[in-house]
Amino acid sequence: MSLLENRVAIITGAGGGLGAAHAKVFAAHGCAVVVNDINYQAAEAVVEDIQAKGGRAIVNTADITDYAASKGIVEHAINEFAGLHIVVNNAGINRDKMFASMSEQDWDDIMRIHLKGHFCISSHAVRYWRDLAKAGETVDARIINTTSGAGLQGSIGQSNYAAAKAGIAALTLNQAAELGRYGITANAIAPAARTGMTMAVDAMAQQMAKPEDGSFDYWAPENVSVLLAYLASAQAAHVSGKVFESEGGRICIADGWRTTKGVDKDAQWDPNELGDVVDHMIEASTPAQKVWGS
């Protein structure tokens, strides 16, 4: 039996890049896939590729940032494939600017696509799964979110993107804590791979180019997709509330914020006392990873 046989997934932003790779890998492992992308031709090409290899997939072009339209995406999956088990929130955009030059629109566009986009479909899927659980059915469902190294440690020139991706990481922790009672897991992935966005940067395009000698393609997006296929499977029912980083053949878990031992005076501090105290705490703490680009 294939890893994802008899399971149904919605994958957003699946017309290209990581989303297309996820869709093809999922389908290759037996999953029925709703290929969601606002670019119909791109989504159709992915679906045709999947179907040509014997897989099951359909096109959906609804706007993931529209709450009502997102309900339609969930209903499309259920009506076409008689169920839904997995939501992969992958769709995203960039509006890179230094913070001092960033416009309100630059900020709002990123928050809408990333944070609201992660909320809308997941909200409707969770309501569907919760209703099944309350009706006594066994639910084995997955939410897989997409964060970024920018969200985990910051990135120069991407304060909007970093803030949204950090929000997605925190959202994942909340979803895992709240939804486990219904048989739903929530995890996030911080991927590094060759996509349209990365290849638009000349330096990255050279670094991430596919090797011509047939050696291991380190930056192939499928290297990330196989981790998602595992997380989407029944085998990963015990894995929830984790943020994974994936690059090439390397997989690791990103640790979150942790409270240090600190200093307790058992009384109110005088501000004049805090200089040495704060300096001591900083010296004793484990430094955060450097902000990308700094």
Catalytic residues: 148, 161, 165
Helices within 29-110 (DSSP H only): 40-52, 67-81, 104-110
Separation of alpha carbons 142 and 232, rounded Å: 6
Residue 222 burial (C-beta neighbours within 10 Å; 0-12, 13-18, 19+):
middle
Separation of alpha carbons 230 and 223, rounded Å: 12
- Count the Cβ atoms, other than its own, within 10 Å of residue 131: 12
In degrees rounded to 5, what are phi and psi of residue 134? -65, -25
Separation of alpha carbons 223 and 25, rounded Å: 10
